[in-house]
């Protein structure tokens, strides 16, 4: 895997980074987030029906450039370099918005120009919660630890039902709108950095987040 490297700082979690340097950079990043509401990026985990806290479950991951973090109105879809998937390289870097054109995109990590139809917009997995946590750790590090992680639950999940009931108790004015929504929980980048710099194991924290 060839991750995208930040122009302003090395990639946190890079195999050549010492724990001391990773901690120092995490503290620096945490300080820069004081003026922002959330991470620069978002990782969305869309869960399928029948998600289990023990057994393998189906879900889909997508990646976004957060408009809120960049003082914009909306999020921009990010894509994964298809180099490894197409057996042309080992690259799985994130292709960011500025590298995307109308019908093509350029991966700045491997230098390859790809057709838009070749890009990977979502990745589907069927994993146990432990392996979901491992996958999320991988992508959080690829995105320089500057990402919110969001879990989006299916419509029949108890969390979505609770949201519907809450809207109903308010008089129903939002009930019809809420029916088309899914419940969302977020592990913000600010909290991720706070936990990691305090010595918490990121994989363990993400596992607890998935199971909660």
Q: What is the pLDDT of residues 17-39, one digit of tens each?
A: 445 555 666 666 666 666 666 78
pLDDT digits (tens, 9 = 90+) for 89-134: 999 999 988 888 888 899 999 999 999 889 998 999 999 999 999 9
Helices 189-197 and 19-32 cross at an angle (nearest 10°) of: 140
pLDDT(208) > 90: yes
Cβ-Cβ contacts under 8 Å for 133 (sequence gap 6 or more)? 203, 204, 206, 207, 210
Rounded Cα gap, residues 127 and 81, in angstroms: 22
What is the reported pTM?
0.74
pLDDT for the residue 88: 93
Confidence of residue 16 (pLDDT cuts 50, 70, 90): very low
Q: With H, G, I as helix, E, B as strand and everything else as coil, classify residue 152.
A: strand
> Closest by alpha carbon to 55, among 151, 152, 130?
130
Helical (H) or strand (E) element with 57: strand 57-65
pLDDT for the residue 153: 80
β-bridge pairing 57-65 and 94-95: unpaired
């Amino acid at each position: 895997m060839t991750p995208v490297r930040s122009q302003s700082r090395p990639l946190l979690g890079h195999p050549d980074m010492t724990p001391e340097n990773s901690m120092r950079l995490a503290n620096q990043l945490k300080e820069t987030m004081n003026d922002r509401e959330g991470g620069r990026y978002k990782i969305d985990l869309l869960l399928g029906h029948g998600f289990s806290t023990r057994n393998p479950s189906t879900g889909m991951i997508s990646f976004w450039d957060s408009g809120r973090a960049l003082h914009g109105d909306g999020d921009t879809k990010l894509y994964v370099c298809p180099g490894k998937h197409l057996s042309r390289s080992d690259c799985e870097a994130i292709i960011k918005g500025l590298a995307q054109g109308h019908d093509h995109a350029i991966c700045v990590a491997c230098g390859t120009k790809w057709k838009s139809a070749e890009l990977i917009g979502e990745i589907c997995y069927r994993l146990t919660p432990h392996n979901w946590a491992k996958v999320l750790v991988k992508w959080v590090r690829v995105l320089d630890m500057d990402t919110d992680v969001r879990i989006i639950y299916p419509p029949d999940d108890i969390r979505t039902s609770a949201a519907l009931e809450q809207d109903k108790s308010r008089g129903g004015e939002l009930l019809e709108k809420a029916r088309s929504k899914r419940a969302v929980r977020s592990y913000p980048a600010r909290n991720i950095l706070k936990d990691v710099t305090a010595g918490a194991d990121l994989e363990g924290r993400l596992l607890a987040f998935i199971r909660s």
